[in-house]
Amino acid sequence: MKSLSTCIVFFCVFLIGCGSRSPKIPEPVEEYPALINIHKIYIASLGNEEGADLISEKIRLRLMKTKRFTVVEVPDFADAILKGAVGISRRVHGSEGNVQTKFSAYAVLRLVNAKTAETIWSFEDSCGHWGSVSNCIADETVDKLLYDSRRAENKVK
């Protein structure tokens, strides 16, 4: 009987979790033709919120691993500057003896042409789960930037 009640509880938690997820609405496809000329990126401060430095460094490392972009340490050497805000928030759920912490991260970013100060790319995202939200935001930021730059390059061909 005890295992049946445990199964029912887990099933209810599963259903609640599934019901709370809203379907992802496809975003309109945006064009970023100016990305074709961007190769060197300087990452400016991405804010003072908790986790901002960690997310910034993870974005830096992921960009450095791409063959498409180079990260520079001096803004004068950059084709574009990554600006915006990132952070991690923490929510504690439960009561004594059964406390769980859920983390969520957000990014509101833009890539600005270093010479004209024109915004040439923008990105907004959030991740919330029990795992590494800093990895989630860094991965999704770089993946989207690579996707949009490849899309721009393919339009020229």
**Quick check: is 64 in a domain?**
yes
Q: Cβ distance 102 to 93 under 8 Å? A: yes
Please write the tens of the pLDDT for every residue from 20-46. Answer: 344 444 455 578 899 999 999 999 999
pLDDT higher than threshold 70 for residue 111: yes
Percentage of the chain modeled with pLDDT above 90: 56
Does residue 59 lie in a domain region?
Answer: yes
- When divided into structural domains, the chain yields a total of 1
Q: Do the domain assignments include residue 81?
A: yes
94 Ramachandran zone, left/alpha/beta (phi>0; psi -120 to 50): left
* 95 assigned to some structural domain: yes
State how beta strands 80-95 and 40-43 pair: parallel
Average pLDDT, whole number, for the chain?
82
- What backbone torsions phi and psi does residue 11 show, to the nearest 5 degrees? -65, -45
What pLDDT sits at residue 98?
85
Does a structural domain hold residue 23? Answer: no
Tokens 């100016």 sit at which residue? 34
pLDDT score at 131: 61
Show the domain range for 90: 37-156
Task: Please say if the pLDDT value at position 106 is more than 50.
Answer: yes
pLDDT score recorded for residue 29: 57
In this structure, what CATH number is given to the domain that contains residue 105?
A: 3.30.160.150
Inside any domain, residue 118 = yes
Would residue 26 count as lying in a domain?
no
Q: What is the pLDDT of residues 45-96, one digit of tens each?
A: 999 999 999 999 999 999 999 999 999 999 999 999 999 999 998 888 888 7
